[in-house]
Amino acid sequence: MKPEWDLLHTPGPTPIPPSVERAMNQPMIGHRGQKCKDLIQSVTPRLKPVFKTEGDVLILTGSGTSALESAVVNTTNPGDDVIVVVAGSFGDRFAKICETYELNVHRIDIEWGKAVAVDQVEQVLREQPQTKAVFLTHSETSTGVMHPIEKIAERVNQVSDALVLVDGVSSVGGAVLDMDRFGIDLLVTGSQKAMMLPPGLAFVAMSERAWERIQETSRPRFYLDLRAYQKRVGDGQTPFTPALSLLFGLDEVLNLIEEEGGIDRVAERHQLMQQMTRKACRALQLPLLVSDEDASTTVTSIRPETFEAEQLRKLAREEFGLVLAGGQNHMKGEIFRIGHMGYSRPANVLQYISILEILLKRLGHDFEPGAGSAAAQEAYLEGTREDQA
Ligand SMILES: Cc1ncc(COP(=O)(O)O)c(C=O)c1O
Give the pLDDT of residue 269.
98
As a whole number, mean pLDDT of residues 227-248 equals: 97
Does ligand 1 lie within 6 Å of residue 94's CB atom?
no
Does ligand 1 lie within 6 Å of residue 169's CB atom?
yes
Q: Which domain holds residue 198?
A: 18-259
Does ligand 1 lie within 6 Å of residue 167's CB atom?
yes
Domain boundary pick from 259, 292, 319: 259
Task: Give the span between the Cα atoms of 133 and 120, in whole angstroms.
Answer: 15
Give the pLDDT of residue 387.
64
Give the pLDDT of residue 2.
79
Give the pLDDT of residue 3.
84
Decide if pLDDT at 255 tops 80. yes
Same domain, 335 and 371: yes
Same domain, 272 and 248: no
The Å distance, Cα 181 to ligand 1 centre, comes to 24
* Cβ neighbours around 151 below 10 Å, total: 13
Under the banding of pLDDT at 50, 70 and 90, the label for residue 133 is very high
Question: Which tens digit of pLDDT belongs to each residue from 157-198?
Answer: 999 999 999 999 999 999 989 999 999 999 999 999 999 999
CATH number, domain with residue 357: 3.90.1150.10
Q: How much of the chain, in percent, has pLDDT values that exceed 90?
A: 97
The Å distance, Cα 362 to ligand 1 centre, comes to 33
Q: Which of 365, 299, 364, 368 is nearest to 335 (CA)?
A: 299
Predicted structure pTM score: 0.97
- Who's near 347: CB < 8 A, 6+ residues apart? none
Task: Give the span between the Cα atoms of 263 and 298, in whole angstroms.
Answer: 14
As a whole number, mean pLDDT of residues 129-157 equals: 98
3-state SS, residue 229: helix
- Who's near 322: CB < 8 A, 6+ residues apart? 6, 7, 9, 316, 352, 355
Domain count, the chain: 2
Same domain, 24 and 165: yes
Does ligand 1 lie within 6 Å of residue 57's CB atom?
no
Same domain, 275 and 151: no
Same domain, 194 and 49: yes
Which residues share a beta bridge with 201? 61
Same domain, 227 and 266: no
Same domain, 244 and 383: no
Q: Which of 165, 168, 176 is nearest to 274 (CA)?
A: 176
Same domain, 223 and 275: no
Question: Which tens digit of pLDDT belongs to each residue from 45-81?
Answer: 999 999 999 999 999 999 999 999 999 999 999 999 9
Same domain, 221 and 363: no
Average pLDDT, the chain: 97
Does ligand 1 lie within 6 Å of residue 328's CB atom?
no
As a whole number, mean pLDDT of residues 88-115 equals: 98
Q: Which atom of ligand 1 is nearest to the CA of 168?
A: 1
Give the pLDDT of residue 389.
55
As a whole number, mean pLDDT of residues 226-230 equals: 98
Residue of the nearest CA to atom 12 in ligand 1?
A: 169
Task: Give the span between the Cα atoms of 335 and 113, in whole angstroms.
Answer: 11
CATH number, domain with residue 52: 3.40.640.10
Burial 217-235 (b: 16+ CB within 10 A, else e): beeebeebbbebbbeebee
Does ligand 1 lie within 6 Å of residue 88's CB atom?
no
Q: Which of 164, 140, 170 is nearest to 150 (CA)?
A: 164
Q: Which atom of ligand 1 is nearest to the CA of 171?
A: 1
Under the banding of pLDDT at 50, 70 and 90, the label for residue 321 is very high
Q: Which atom of ligand 1 is nearest to the CA of 66?
A: 11
Counting ligand 1 atoms within 8 A of each CB, the residue from 8, 96, 141, 149 with the most, and so the one to mutate, is 141
Does ligand 1 lie within 6 Å of residue 245's CB atom?
no
Under the banding of pLDDT at 50, 70 and 90, the label for residue 1 is confident
Does ligand 1 lie within 6 Å of residue 131's CB atom?
no
* pLDDT top residue among 388 and 217: 217
Same domain, 254 and 286: no
Domain boundary pick from 227, 259, 291: 259
As a whole number, mean pLDDT of residues 270-296 equals: 98
77: left (phi over 0), alpha (psi -120 to 50) or beta: beta
Q: Which of 341, 340, 338, 334 is nearest to 112 (CA)?
A: 334
Q: Which atom of ligand 1 is nearest to the CA of 12?
A: 14
Domain boundary pick from 232, 259, 286: 259
Same domain, 28 and 166: yes
Same domain, 337 and 367: yes
At residue 214's C-alpha, the angle toward residues 209 and 215, to 5°, is: 100
| Cβ-based burial of 23 (10 A; exposed 0-12, middle 13-18, buried ≥19) | buried
Question: Which tens digit of pLDDT belongs to each residue from 345-389?
Answer: 999 999 999 999 999 999 999 999 999 999 999 999 999 987 665
Give the pLDDT of residue 311.
98
3-state SS, residue 58: strand
Task: Give the span between the Cα atoms of 111 and 183, in whole angstroms.
Answer: 26
Helical spans, DSSP H, in 118-159: 118-127, 149-159
The Å distance, Cα 87 to ligand 1 centre, comes to 14
